[in-house]
Structure 1
Amino acid sequence: MLCFDNSVVAKFARSDPDENVVSYLERNASEPWVIPATVLFEYLQYYSSQSAVHEQHHALTQRIERVLPLNEAVAVEAVLLGQKLTQQ
């Protein structure tokens, strides 16, 4: 499973997607793609009209498998993963 943060979503969902991100995602197309609900919120917050929010929401959710809810277990896992990454 690939869980994207806001920077990755912005780089592949924009009208001129980042070639490096697109290439990586193409190589990992067999993996399920997910985003946390907070990332969806941050991404959609950029759009000012209701129609744009709905259009972008639909377009994004067509490309990912699901939106992950933020709960206690997710928060703890995120902290532990962040600690592991900083130790590398």
Structure 2
Amino acid sequence: MIVKITDFDENVEIPFIDYDVAGLTAMQMKFLEENLDEETSIDGDILRIRLYFKDIFPFQSEVAKIRLDDFIAREEIEMNVFLSGFLEDM
């Protein structure tokens, strides 16, 4: 599974991060789309997830602004681990 952050915006009413997830089977994508609480869609062989943040946005700190690539990589890894654990229930 490959998780990639494709977009994010903290300067909107409800900040969000968009993820593209590749390397899943059709059955895994359908399972995630049907069972995740987040906004999801399937585009070919890519599962798209939009995660909204009402409290703390992961990239809002001053350190995150300086080392944004590191924070993005960490978020991608965390989403990968979360989805992998979620798929264990499949």
Give TM-score scaled by structure 2 length.
Answer: 0.25
Q: Greater strand share, 1 or 2?
A: 2
Give TM-score scaled by structure 1 length.
Answer: 0.25
